[in-house]
Amino acid sequence: MYNKQTMKLSEICSCLKEHKSYNFVEKEVCGVTHDSRKVKSGCVFVAIKGHKLDGHDFIVSAIEKGAIALVVEKKIEVVSQIPQIIVTNTRQALAFISNLFYGKPSSKITVIGITGTNGKTTTSYLIKSIIEASGSKSGLIGTIQYQIGNRVIPAQETTPESVEIQSYLSEMLKSCMKYAVIEASSHALSQHRLEGIHFSSAVFTNLSTEHLDYHENIKNYRAEKLKLIKGLDKEAFAILNADHNTSKHFADYTEAKVFWYGIRRKHADVTAEIIDISADATKFLLNSPWGKEIINLKLIGKHNVYNALAAATNGLALGFKIETVKKGIESLSVVPGRLERIDYGQDFYVYIDFAHTHQALQVILSTIRQITAGRIILVFGCGGNRDRNKRPKMGHIAGKYSDLSWITSDNPRSEDPRDIIYEIQKGMSKEACFRVQVDRRIAIEDALLEAKRGDVVIIAGKGHEQYQITKDTIIPFDDREVVRQVLQSNLVSHF
């Protein structure tokens, strides 16, 4: 990643607490990157050990492309012509270097972080909507995309690498944005991608089992989420879910001013009384020390009331008026792939949702059960090379809460999709009504053809994603586009 300004290599080294230098010669640095493919002349190359690849194996390539210094975790004996900065953890070093190189942008912009298993994306969109309802501009870094004004970058991961985050924050500042909203994934917190960022507030949504293939157990997973809240200073705000037990644990470890939100706990600072949930909207009364407002939320379900409460509490803590909070929440009509309704005039409902854990799937299905007298028809699967323990749990929830489900492929990656489906089936009860179709496109088509007046078809797992990963191949695939093609064809005729 590159900046218009340059910086002395000695300056770069000054932000690293402990390091050793070999072949040190003062240099003018005009870029920092961990990706050897992006190295240009005058760049510092930071070699990171990844899940599959090790940046130390690409050092020769980086030098050939113009790297003028290396940040590494071990001395590279075959390299003698350029400086080597040796540190214990190059990922952490990349975060510190990037923060300095881009001028510590988070110290000049209000940065809001959001962490939790479910609800991060919707909450981030709601927070951004509240900010913009106030007349201010906000950038967004999250699961679906990275937004910097009119520039929209499709997200490769929820929270990008530290050098990219700092570059985006710097770009937001140059675009006169006063706020930045960042989804903080557990992987990012574990891998130091957010170190060096000053958060003015941090929101915690909830915690359930997820990514245990990476974190090994729920305790480790919780510890990574805690890092965001624990890292807040005394001037910052921690926005915690009063209805979730983990929040008390988080509150014990932060110096920040804590604000609580919830539905069940009446002692929370900001609460909601749900008035009505329909297929198109959710109406609730927002209660807070700053006043009361009836909120007509265009997103459906109790879980979205929690997301709205989190966003509202954050906004109120940061000083936004309650009228602005109401306007911002009510202005958001859809979050891509989050109970996103697809309507082409058919006489049944179709929703696309990102739910890919058994807890998220249960929330979605129980929400839909409240608003339909017809059948719930579900299409879902589980990702390959990911936590296998959740597969039978997904099957159990699908069988319990849907009337009919199709078990299909969902990014099988290097695994045989039939093996994944078999593990999902293990959780299905004898009474569960389901069908197996490995081809996701056919599964969606069959489910839509099965639907009758008043039914609800839910296609879960991929949400906003526009690809399918099979082995080492990524092919274009968008659930929404498949639904459009089927509904607009002559196949579905009951309109």
Domain boundaries along the sequence of the chain: 2-101, 105-331, 340-487
- Nearest Cα neighbor of 183 from 163, 157, 207, 208 is 157
Whole-number Å distance between alpha carbons of 487 and 361: 24
Judging by beta carbons within 10 Å of its beta carbon (0-12, 13-18, 19+), is residue 374 exposed, middle or buried? middle
Whole-number Å distance between alpha carbons of 356 and 397: 12
Identify the pLDDT of residue 495: 47
Residue 190: phi and psi, rounded to 5, are -65, -35
Whole-number Å distance between alpha carbons of 109 and 102: 13
Identify the pLDDT of residue 464: 95
Judging by beta carbons within 10 Å of its beta carbon (0-12, 13-18, 19+), is residue 3 exposed, middle or buried? middle
- Residue 493: how many CB atoms within 10 A of its CB? 8
Q: Supply the DSSP string of 52-74, one letter for each residue.
A: S-BGGGGHHHHHHTTEEEEEESS
- Helical (H) or strand (E) element with 97: helix 90-101
Q: Given the structure tokens 């909830």, which residue do they identify?
A: 206
Identify the pLDDT of residue 358: 94
Give the pair of three-digit tokens for residue 316.
């109120």
Whole-number Å distance between alpha carbons of 85 and 46: 9
Whole-number Å distance between alpha carbons of 307 and 118: 9
Give the pLDDT of the chain (495 residues) as one tens digit per residue: 667 679 999 999 999 989 999 999 999 999 999 999 999 999 999 999 987 899 999 999 999 999 999 999 999 988 888 999 999 999 999 999 999 999 999 999 999 999 999 999 999 999 999 999 999 999 999 999 999 999 999 999 999 999 999 999 999 999 999 999 999 999 999 999 999 999 999 999 999 866 666 656 889 989 999 999 999 999 999 999 999 999 999 999 999 999 999 998 778 999 999 999 999 999 999 999 999 999 999 999 999 999 999 999 999 999 999 999 999 999 999 999 999 999 999 999 999 999 999 999 999 999 999 999 999 999 999 999 988 999 999 999 999 999 999 999 999 999 999 999 999 999 999 999 999 999 999 999 999 999 999 999 999 999 999 999 998 899 999 999 999 999 998 666 554
Say if domain 2-101 classifies as CATH 3.40.1080.20.
no
Whole-number Å distance between alpha carbons of 239 and 206: 11
Whole-number Å distance between alpha carbons of 85 and 90: 10
- The CATH code of the domain at 105-331 is 3.40.1190.10
Identify the pLDDT of residue 208: 83
Determine contact, residues 64/53, Cβ cutoff 8 Å.
no
Give the pair of three-digit tokens for residue 328.
């911002």
Identify the pLDDT of residue 78: 83
Give the pair of three-digit tokens for residue 462.
């991929």
- The CATH code of the domain at 340-487 is 3.90.190.20
